[in-house]
Amino acid sequence: ADEPKSLPDYAAWKERSALIVHSTNTMETERGAIGNGVITPSDRLFVRNNLPAPPATITDDPDAWEVNIEGVRNPRKLTVGELKSMGVTTVASVLQCSGNGRAFFPHGASGTQWSVGAAGCVMWTGVPLKDVVEALGGPDSDARYITSTGGESLPEGLDPKTIVVERSVPTRALDSALLAWEMNDEPMPHTHGGPLRMVVPGYYGVNNVKYVKTIAFTENQTDAKIQASGYRIRDVGEKGSPDQPSMWEMNVKSWVTAPLESGRSGRNMIYGVAFGGTVALDRVEVSLDGGKNWKQARFLGPDLGPYAWRPFVMAADLSPGEYRIVSRATDTQGNSQPEGRTENERGYGHNGWSDHGVTVTVS
Ligand code: MSS
C-alpha cells in the first residue's frame, strides 16, 4: 500500500488526521472531521494552491506588506498597517473550491478529486474594500470588474499570463468584499494567504486571492489564463473561453457529515452543513430513503449571516437496515439543490443532492 502522504512544510501546523493530502498543493478536510460547528478550525481547513506558495517569511512583518490599489481616482500603494486604520469588519463566509465534489463526476474530470471537504466556514477580519476605495476617490467610472493579483513570484521564462493567479469579479461584489488580515481571530496564516487576502463572500474559492498584491478596478476581465479560459462551466470535451459562465457566486449546497457508514438501531442524530452562497438559507430537508420522503432538519447554533454555513441536525429512529441519507438545501429566493449534476468538463460547481448522500448500515 502507498504510504500516506505527509503534510508539506508550509501546512505542517495542520491536523494531519483531519485531512486527506492529495498533493503538496491540495489537502481536503475529511468528511467526518467537518463536524457540526459554525466555524471550521483553521488547522482543519482545506488548502489549495494553484502555484507553489511564496516563502513563509512574507508574514514575518505583516503590517509592512503592500497592496497597490489601481483603477481608482487616486491610485496608490497601501501597507497593511495603513489599511488597519481605514476601517474594520468581521464576516463569516464559506470558502469552497470550485471543484469541490469533482470526484463524483463519472467522466473523470481532470484536477484534484475533491469529495466534500474542499470547503469550510471561516471568520475573516479586515477592511471593507468599499471603505478603501472611497478613501481613494472611488472607482474609475468605466470600472465593471475588480481584478485581484496574487503575490507569488512567477517562474522566469514563462508567459506570466499563463500562470499568474489573477481573478476578476463583477463590481457588484464591492458591497461585501474585504481585504482581510485575520482568519478565525488570528493573523492570516501564510498558508491561507497572509499577510493580506482578498475575500469575496459567497464567491468560489478561486476569487479569494491570497497574498494579494494588486487590486485593480478594470473595464474588462483580466486576460490571465485562470480567468479567460480557466474556471469556466463548459460542456465535456469543450475548451475554455471567456464567453462561458465564470465561477463567481456559489450555488446552494449541503451534505451530511454524520453518520457516514454505520449506526446503531434506535435514535440516530443526522448532522450536516448547508449554505446558500450569496443568498441566505431558508431550510434543509433530509431523506433517509434516497430522496423519496423528506423531513425538515433543524439548524444548529447561531446564524452568522448569509455567507456562513449552517450546521443542521435531524433525529431519526432507525431500525436495522440500509439507509441512503441525502440532504437538500433551499435558499430564501427559492433555489434548491437539484437531484443530479450539471455535467461539465472540469467538474465545477457540483451541488446535486444525490451524489452527495451517504449509505449507512444500521445494526
Ligand atoms: N490565491 C493565490 N494567490 N494563489 C492560489 O493558488 N488558489 C485559489 C484561492 N486563492 C490561489 C489563491 C483557489 S482555486 C482556492 S480554492 C482557494 O484559494 C483555496 O484557499 P485555501 O485558503 O483553502 O488554500 Mo479552487 O476554486
Nearest-atom number in ligand 1 for the CA of 247 is 26
pLDDT, one tens digit per residue, over 74-92 is: 999 999 999 999 999 999 9
CA of 336 to the centre of ligand 1 (A): 27
How many C-alpha atoms does 340 have within 13 Å on its Cβ side?
4
Q: Per the omega criterion (within 30 degrees of 0), is the bond before 41 cis?
A: no
Q: Which mutation among 45, 65, 210 tests ligand 1's pocket best, with the greatest number of atoms within 8 A of CB?
A: 210
CB of 203 closer than 6 A to ligand 1?
A: no
Q: Residue 1: pLDDT above 60? A: no
The pLDDT value recorded for residue 87 is: 97
Beta strands in 240-307 (DSSP E): 253-258, 262-263, 266-275, 281-287, 295-296, 298-299
Distance 285 CA to ligand 1 centre (A): 31
Question: Which has the closest alpha carbon to 288: 257, 254, 315?
Answer: 315
Contact between 284 and 328 (Cβ < 8 Å): yes
- In DSSP notation, 93-140 reads EEEE-TTTTGGG-TT--SS----S-SEEEEEEEEEEHHHHHHHTT-B-
Q: In this predicted model, what pLDDT tens digit does every residue of 209-253 receive, in sequence order?
A: 999 999 999 999 999 999 999 999 999 999 999 999 999 999 999
Q: Which of 20, 49, 95, 162 to mutate to test the pocket of ligand 1 (most atoms within 8 A of CB)?
A: 49
Using CA atoms, how far apart are residues 356 and 353, in angstroms rounded to an integer? 5
ipTM > 0.95 for the complex: yes
Rg for the chain (alpha carbons), in Å?
21
The answer to whether the CB of 246 is under 6 A from ligand 1 is: no
Question: Is the CB of 207 within 6 Å of ligand 1?
Answer: no
User: How many Å apart are CA 132 and CA 181, to the nearest integer?
Assistant: 14
129: left (phi over 0), alpha (psi -120 to 50) or beta: alpha
Q: What's the confidence (pLDDT) of residue 2?
A: 59
What does the alpha-carbon distance between residue 106 and residue 174 come to, in Å, rounded to a whole number? Answer: 37
Cα gap 352→150, rounded to integer Å: 31
Would you state the pLDDT for residue 152? Answer: 97
pLDDT-based confidence at 351, cuts 50/70/90? very high
CA distance linking residue 101 with residue 35, whole number of Å? 18
Rounded Cα distance, 270 and 296, in Å: 12
Residues 331, 276 contacting (CB under 8 angstroms): yes
Q: Residue 3's pLDDT is what? A: 63
Domains of the chain (ranges; CATH) run: 9-228 (3.90.420.10), 253-362 (2.60.40.650)
Residue 270 C-alpha to ligand 1 middle, in angstroms?
Answer: 31
Separation of 332 CA from ligand 1 center, angstroms?
A: 28
Give the residue carrying C-alpha cell 464559506. 94
| CA-based nearest residue to 64, from 79, 83, 85 | 79
Return the percentage of the chain with pLDDT > 70, whole number.
99
3-state SS record for 185-246 = CEECCHHHCCCCEEECCCECHHHCCCCEEEEEEECCCCCCHHHHCCCECCCCCCCCCCCCCE
How far is the first Cα of the chain from the last one, in angstroms, to the nearest whole number?
31
39 SS3 class: coil
Element (H, E) at 83: helix 80-83
Does the C-beta of 163 come closer than 6 Å to ligand 1?
no
Residue 120 CA, closest ligand 1 atom number: 23
Q: In this predicted model, what pLDDT tens digit does every residue of 187-212 receive, in sequence order?
A: 999 999 999 999 999 999 999 999 99
Report the nearest-CA residue for atom 11 of ligand 1: 49
Q: How many CB atoms lie within 10 A of CB 1?
A: 3
What mean pLDDT, rounded, does the chain reach? Answer: 97
Q: Which residues contact 113 (CB under 8 A, 6 or more apart)?
A: 22, 102, 103
Do the bridges between strand 358-362 and strand 262-263 make them parallel or antiparallel, or are there none, so unpaired? parallel
For residue 332, which amino acid is it? Answer: T
